[in-house]
Amino acid sequence: MDAAVIVFPGSNCDRDIKVALAQSMGKEPHMVWHRDADFPKVDLIVLPGGFSYGDYLRCGAMAAHSPAMREVVARAGKGTRVLAICNGFQIATEAGLLPGALMRNAHLQYVCSDVNLRIETNQTEFMAKYRPGQVVRIPVGHADGNYQADEATLDRLEGEGLVALRYCDPNGTISSAANPNGAARNIAGVYNDERNVLGLMPHPERLSDAALGGTDGRLMIDSLVEALS
Amino acid sequence: MKAKVHVALKSGVLDPQGKAINHALHTLGFPAVRDVRQGKLIELEIDEKDPAKARAAIEEMCRKLLANPVMETYRIELVE
Amino acid sequence: MSKSVIEITPEVAASHGLKADEFQRVVEILGRNPNLVELGIFGAMWSEHCSYKSSKKWLKRLPTSAPWVICGPGENAGVIDIGDGQAVVFKMESHNHPSFIEPYQGAATGVGGIMRDVFTMGARPIANLNALRFGEPAHPKTRMLVAGVVHGIGGYGNCVGVPTIGGETTFHKSYNGNILVNAMTVGLARADRIFYSAAAGIGNPVVYVGSKTGRDGIHGAVMASAEFDDKSEEKRPTVQVGDPFTEKLLIEACLELMESDAIIAIQDMGAAGLTSSSFEMASKGGVGIELDLDLVPCREARMTAYEIMLSESQERMLMILKPGREDVARQVFEKWELDFAVIGRVTDTGRMILKKDGQVAADLPVAPLAEKAPMYDRPVQMTPKPAPLGDVPAAGDIADCLLKLLASPDLSKKDWVWRQYDHMVMADTVIRPGGDASMVRVHGTRKALAVTTDCTPRYCFADPEEGGAQAVAETWRNITATGAKPLAITDCMNFGNPERPEIMGQFAGCIEGMRKACLALDYPVVSGNVSLYNETNGQGVQPTPSIGGVGLIDDWAKAVQIAPKADGEVLVLIGETKGHLGQSLYLRELLGREDGPPPPVDLSAERRNGDFVRAEILAGRVKACHDVSDGGIAVAVAEMCLAAGRGAEAGLPGGLGHAVAFGEDQGRYILSIAAGEAAALLDRAAKSGVPAARLGQVGGDRLTFQGARAISLHDLRRAHESWLPNYMAG
């Protein structure tokens, strides 16, 4: 398989996901500069974490208008898989690839910490290697990860199985104490209707290596690599 | 009484957000934009009928909390 | 243009920080009165910050060399060799006063400035640390300052994408009017691609890159004076605003250009901006520079030569390029959407000539500015040795004392701080903050760097020499406790007013202690910074020589952390315990006393004990290791239990005494090892002349010191974790 990581001015987890992808794929992904709309055909596009344009104005707002993003939206419409992590998730919602928006954390502080997440379904190419309902530990690092959408949208996401991950306690219970940012219904990640785009606040690439304290994130990347190879 | 407080960076203080927005507008095809400076709009509803007293109270709020006089200016607008 | 109408009097010179005799020296060097631009340049270059005029005499005493030192003090940052053609570049710097005035921007720009010092030398920043000292918690400004500084450090470092992995946050009333914000950056470079600041090559282009120049940070005293007429307050901001987004682009652009051979010299524009960067480059290269200030990218219209030369706008760099490489460089900076301008040339005149509006705005000889800068041998009054501490009463039951200490501001858990810093970005953080030293991998290798900052100001205040030695030794010990070999330090010297002999005595004493420790531990100083005049109304801060240490381990998988791995492991105490309570936290927090001598540092025992511990760790025989420092054995064991979520039963050497439990004797560690390894380890220690004793065993969900009340992990955790969040919510 081939993958591409879109690099925006201010992206800073682009190298981290490149390393994690190379570890699973056995070869390096293409690194695509945001002004380059003419990048190779790939099976997976990653929108990496960071602070594109400094998170100024609204997180992801300016990056969503870059030439590369217009191409990403077009390719996602034709079925290319898109993994949008943290700032990538913010960019994806601003670009209309995913419903909802990421608001300032309810406690108004940046939060960098491991969180527990419940895998809501493993019936997607992103999650096949997890068990449904499995509780995994993956870090977050963000100031604006408070997922919000109107009630009808939230109901629809839940009803159609488009909620990918939720913040939970170590036993898998969904509670406000386990919610690091105030996200509606503890939502940490969502799919688009076709389930070829996943946006999530946690960083799977940060726990994809035992040296860093865990490998729960690696399974997400391995799932994609297996499905797309 | 309702009031609006406009808080902005003093002229001359670097506005990184304004700078980045300016740049993004240029790349989006608005080359005529010469400069962008951003600030905050704070809307207040206060139990005070006397405009002079309201303004004085808001002045104090601005000095103490709403603006940082080291780097920001503010403008108070009494709405009704 | 107002420069022609301003008469340069001794008063105007004084408002630039130049004393009467210093001004006289300016006139002698020039053979005439300076104009305002020239005076501003002298004032900046001869400031304490740029010239080290009070401290240089003493700094020269510090050891700065070792076979692994590539570049010692004097450049933007220090450089050490870590093998395989790789080098580590690091430095710590203060941003104290700006952080007190505007905590968010002050701290943010402090982080930005120190990162530029490091990537200027060709290194990618891979870790940030921050040593923070605040006033007493009850002081009305403290909470706001903590919130602002922490937010500012996170706001900048997180955005740039460099993990903030270590540091300290402590409180004392001596910092009520002068907080300390000391920021450290560690970077990774190729040993054969280190960039220096000496200008060379007559005719070569001088290039300005980064952000535009505004009126940020221009010397307030002069600005407020009448010459600058109307609306001066509105027009002349002195607060620098950081733009971490631009810094991120600047890092990427500089490192990309450094891959080519276009750069001859590079220097960041920090304090005193274009003035100090251009003079330093010219002075180090023994050349002249001519700048056309009309070509400097400016953010505002009608900026004067004075303003352009003294602006402290952030995120800017000055470079000397090889001839003909301007276009290569311009392409890189334009790709990253940064300003790029050729603003001058290197000359053979030995003079700095600044042109503005077609006229010469300043014409100064380069060498005399540096060579004839004032140097002071200020009067020194050494700190008298403190009186011995008499008998100390028990402050209550051992368990109660431990709970109170764990909940004290300095020992309380600092999660509230760490969680606001991205300490995982770059995906190489193998030891996260909160233990002894933190650790990052050298990307793509098995090697890793252990980094820490330490200083115990109350020790330095009571006995500067012991305190200076202790600060160095504690960083060495914290690095050793991970298994890494300590290699070198950076120092950030924060003191009061050097014109007071007792303050210079503190400075001289700390330097002497640091010197001895560096020599005894083969642990040179490779970079540093001095911040004096940390004083309000005659009340100086406690002497605070913040030390940042860097160590190397060949294989990160061999490193250990402070959490025991399994029940049944045995705790072994390394080092001698005498029960030294002078200047201890026990004395201060539980008895309200700050007296007695600090614990002496026996440097040969320090080295022997540390070398033994490191060898045991690298041999794979140690499951966890923690150094014993503030709060003594009891606090160290409690911290190990909390990190592991396991209880322990422990005896205290010589029985259940407060001095033994809470004394802060130096050179000690607690190891957690498999039960079957204990006897052999004690045997090896005895053969090496290292004091070692079995302390207890890990297990259960309570911590019990024999003879004292057991404390549940739950209570221990609540004591340790609640103070800071509760305080910040108050």
Locate the domains of chain B by residue range.
2-78
Q: Please give the average per-residue pLDDT across C483-505, as a whole number.
A: 97
**CB distance C239–B13 less than 8 Å?**
yes
- What would the pLDDT profile of C26-55 be if each residue is shown by its tens digit? 999 999 999 999 999 999 999 888 889 999
In tens digits, what is the pLDDT along chain A, a chain of 229 residues?
Answer: 999 999 999 999 999 999 999 999 999 999 999 999 999 999 999 999 999 999 998 899 999 999 999 999 999 999 999 999 999 999 999 999 999 999 999 998 999 999 999 999 999 999 999 999 999 999 999 999 999 999 999 999 999 999 999 999 999 999 999 999 999 999 999 999 999 999 999 999 999 999 999 999 999 999 999 999 9
Q: Would an 8 Å CB–CB cutoff place B46 in contact with chain A? A: no
- Nearest CA to C325 out of C237, C244, C207, C440 is that of C207
Number of H helices, E strands in chain B: 2, 3
- Pairing between β-strand A135-142 and β-strand A146-148 as defined by DSSP bridges: unpaired
- pLDDT score recorded for residue C694: 96
Which tens digits make up the pLDDT trace of C202-250?
999 999 999 999 988 776 444 433 343 444 344 445 678 899 999 999 9
- Verify whether the Cβ–Cβ distance B14 to C234 is below 8 Å: no
Residues of chain C in contact with residue A212, where contact means CB-CB under 8 angstroms, are 424, 427-430
Tell if the CB–CB gap between B20 and A56 is shorter than 8 Å.
yes
- The partner residue sitting opposite A112, judged by closest CB among C161, C422, C556, is C422
Tokens 């040296």 locate to A211
| Alpha carbons C363 and C354: distance in angstroms, whole number | 7
Domain of A39, CATH number, reads 3.40.50.880
Choosing from A59, A71, A94, A203, the catalytic residue is: A203
As for how many domains chain A has, the answer is: 1
Of C245, C419, C421, the CB nearest to A10: C245
Does any CB of chain A come closer than 8 Å to the CB of residue B20? yes
How close does chain B come to C115, measured CA to CA in Å?
18
Taking the CA of residue C314 and the nearest CA in chain B, the distance in Å comes to 9
Tokens of C259: 């891959």
* Residue C594 one-letter amino acid: E
Chain C residue whose CA is closest to A36: C335
Q: Is C602's Cβ below 8 Å from some Cβ in A?
A: no
Chains in contact with B via at least 3 Cβ–Cβ pairs below 8 Å:
A, C
Q: Which of C160, C161, C430 lies at the smallest CB-CB distance from A212?
A: C430
Residues of A with CB under 8 A from a CB of C: 9-10, 12-13, 15-16, 19-20, 49-51, 53-56, 109-113, 139, 141, 143, 203, 205-206, 208-209, 211-213
The pLDDT value given to residue C17: 87
Give the three-class secondary structure for A201.
coil
What confidence score (pLDDT) does residue C124 get? 98
Q: Say whether B20 and A65 touch across the interface (CB within 8 A).
A: no
Q: Return the residue of A nearest to B37 by Cα.
A: A57
Q: Phi/psi at C446 (nearest 5 deg)? A: -85, -15
- Chains in contact with C, where contact means 3 or more Cβ–Cβ distances below 8 Å, are A, B
Partner residue facing A112 (CB), from C160, C161, C419: C419
% chain C with pLDDT above 90: 88
CB contact under 8 A, B28 and A53: no
How much is the pLDDT for B63?
Answer: 85
Q: Is B11 on the interface with A (CB under 8 A)?
A: no
pLDDT digits (tens, 9 = 90+) for C627-649: 999 999 999 999 999 999 999 99
- Kindly identify which residue of chain A lies nearest to residue B21, measuring between CA atoms: A57
pLDDT of residue C250: 96
Those residues of chain A whose CB sits closer than 8 Å to some CB in chain B are 53-54, 56-57, 62, 65-66
| Residue of C423, C424, C553 to mutate, testing the A interface (most A Cβ within 10 Å of its Cβ) | C424
Mean pLDDT of chain C: 94
Determine the pLDDT at residue B23: 87
How do C711-712 and C702-705 pair as beta strands?
antiparallel
pLDDT of residue C270: 84
Tell whether B13 is within 8 A of chain C (Cβ): yes
Q: Which fold has domain B2-78?
A: Mth169; Chain: A , (3.30.1280)
Per the DSSP assignment, residues forming a β-bridge with C525 are C489
- Radius of gyration of chain A measured on its C-alpha atoms: 16
Catalytic residue, from A13, A59, A86, A168: name it.
Answer: A86
What is the pLDDT at residue C223?
Answer: 41
Q: Which domains does chain C have, with CATH numbers?
A: 560-730 (3.90.650.10)
Task: Give the span between the Cα atoms of C376 and C5, in whole angstroms.
Answer: 34
Numbered residues of chain C with Cβ closer than 8 Å to any chain B Cβ? 101-102, 105, 211, 214-216, 234-237, 239-246, 299-300, 313-314, 337
Closest CA relative to residue C480, chosen from C701, C296, C669, C334:
C669
Q: Residue length, chain A?
A: 229
- Give the chain B residue whose CA is nearest to the CA of C237: B13
Residue C537: what pLDDT?
A: 87
- Set of chain A residues whose Cβ sits within 8 Å of the Cβ of B24: 53, 57, 62, 65
For the annotated catalytic residues of C, the residue numbers are: 49, 95
Give the pLDDT of chain B (80 residues) as one tens digit per residue: 999 999 998 888 888 888 888 988 988 889 999 999 999 999 999 999 999 999 999 999 998 788 877 778 999 999 87
Other Cβ atoms within 10 Å of A131 Cβ, number? 10
**Range from A165-179, C266-280, C454-468 carrying the lowest mean pLDDT:** C266-280
Query: Where on the phi/psi map is residue C579: left (φ > 0), alpha (ψ -120 to 50), or beta?
Result: left
The answer to whether A62 contacts B16, with C-beta atoms less than 8 Å apart, is no
* pLDDT for C60 beyond 70: yes
Closest to C114 (Cα-Cα) out of C253, C264, C314, C297: C314
Per-residue pLDDT for C719 more than 60? Answer: yes
Tell me: the pLDDT tens digits for C138-165? 999 999 999 999 999 999 999 999 999 9
Q: What is the layout of strands, in order, in the sheet containing B2-9?
A: B39-45, B2-9, B72-78
Q: How far apart are CA C255 and CA A34, in angstroms?
A: 19
- Contact status, residue C526 vs residue C79, Cβ threshold 8 Å: yes
